[in-house]
Amino acid sequence: MVKKNRNVAIVGVGQTYHKRRRPDVTQVELINEAVRAALKDAQLDIADVDVVVHGNMELFEGTYQGDMWHVDGDGAYMKSGIRITTGGTTGGTLVCATDNIVTSGLYDVALCIGFEKMEEGEATGGITGMADPLWFRWMMSGALSGASFAERLEALTMEQLERLELVAAKLRVQLADNAARNPYAHLRMKLTIDDVMNSRLLVYPLRLLHMCPESSGACALILASEKKAERITDKPVWIKDHVTTHLEDFVVGVITEAESTMRRCARKLYERNKITNPLKQIDTFEMYDPNVWWHMDWMTEFLFLKPGENIEMIAKGKTALEGDFPINASGGVVSTNPIGATAMLRVAEAALQIRGDAGEHQIPKEVNTAMASSFGGSTWSILNLLTKEKPM
């Protein structure tokens, strides 16, 4: 078990309605919408907050000291503040870092904010322009540059591939159905298997509808120390543990480790929390799934599934909202992707499920334990473990 100085709970959850474009607001105003929602949810005033932790993907906002630019909206005026940018994982790192500073005893009530207004920045320009300058920048073509399936695809027969494509399409339809029940989700379209199978091919076998969108939106969470949390809300969601793992390859393509960061991250989390059967001991999983192929692959990695078990689970609807082990009841990242907020939304949605406050996309079965993952370059993984029961 990880040694925490004191327990920390999520006591407020706020997010914006996520859309492709929000020309009606500035970044400051967009962030303010999420902050306002989180404060309202926690029934707190900004004066009750001790510290503001702010983050997004570096360079996507296109200003220096974004945390200072956003002060009017995020409520950090004359408060302590920290800016965190860890790429795609930022939202997850924000939660980890905020949990750390509250458990440390430095602050009692902390507000953390992840955001991205992707219509304003140039995401692909940012990703490609910032890759390793000596070896990789010249050929980096965006978030898909590193998406290699060759070692998997070569081992499959045509028949197996066709079956996989069908399951990928079914999964995408399932996630679209979930998103349709989540009023905050960006893509809330009704999809059919044919829609998915016939969408434009990007990198075989990845099609346009397999891929996450670019969204504009923000998420804010309020974390509080045990004593404060129990005074603020009767439904605290406890942050029991979190683990962060990296791979050494900053230059994509250098594979020297047999075990993925996802598996390594999960192994450590399970060991520390005595989880021997994740499918039984965890009630739902909010996964950072940039596309449905990675969603399928990472199920195996994060949940220690047997070969083919992921495909069986999806085919049988076990990961659907009403299934035994719902994954991404929110619609996931393939439905909503304001990058700096994306990983935090996984934690926020997991917390709402534990509280029973997810509304139309609430999982019908009881949710006591939920796991949320973060993903970023290069294959950087974070897992946050949330519980209804207060950790010992």
Provide the binding-site residues for another protein, judged by CB under 8 A: 22-29, 32, 35-36, 39, 46, 59, 62, 71-73, 75, 77-78, 119-122, 125-126, 128-130, 133-134, 137
Residue 205 CA from chain centroid, whole number: 23
Q: How far is the CB of 166 from another protein (least distance, A)?
A: 39
Q: How far is the CB of 39 from another protein (least distance, A)?
A: 8
Question: Is the CB of 119 or the CB of 309 nearer to another protein?
Answer: 119
Q: How far is the CB of 112 from another protein (least distance, A)?
A: 16
Question: Is the CB of 129 or the CB of 183 nearer to another protein?
Answer: 129
Question: Is the CB of 137 or the CB of 190 nearer to another protein?
Answer: 137
Q: How far is the CB of 35 from another protein (least distance, A)?
A: 8
Question: Is the CB of 32 or the CB of 93 nearer to another protein?
Answer: 32
Residue 91 to residues 76, 256, 278, 342, Cα–Cα distance (Å): 18, 27, 23, 6
Rounded Cα–Cα distance for residues 135 and 225 (Å): 45
Phi, psi angle pair for 59, to nearest 5°? 85, -20
Q: How far is the CB of 78 from another protein (least distance, A)?
A: 8
Residue 383 to residues 56, 289, 350, Cα–Cα distance (Å): 18, 13, 12
Structural tokens at position 245: 């793992």
Question: Is the CB of 80 or the CB of 199 nearer to another protein?
Answer: 80
- Strand bridging mode 8-15 / 216-225: antiparallel
- Torsion sign over Cα 216, 126, 350, 388: negative
DSSP of 133-182, one letter per residue?
Answer: TTTTTTT--STTTT---HHHHTTS-HHHHHHHHHHHHHHHHHHHHHHHT-
Residues 180 and 236 sit within 8 Å (Cβ to Cβ): no
- Torsion sign over Cα 321, 323, 324, 326: negative
Q: How far is the CB of 336 from another protein (least distance, A)?
A: 20
Half-sphere exposure of 143 (CA within 13 A, CB side): 19
Question: Is the CB of 74 or the CB of 165 nearer to another protein?
Answer: 74
Instruction: Give the 3-state secondary structure of residue 328.
Output: coil
Question: Is the CB of 123 or the CB of 348 nearer to another protein?
Answer: 123
Q: How far is the CB of 30 from another protein (least distance, A)?
A: 9
Question: Is the CB of 28 or the CB of 315 nearer to another protein?
Answer: 28
Q: How far is the CB of 360 from another protein (least distance, A)?
A: 28
DSSP 225: E
- H/E stretch holding 241 reads strand 237-245
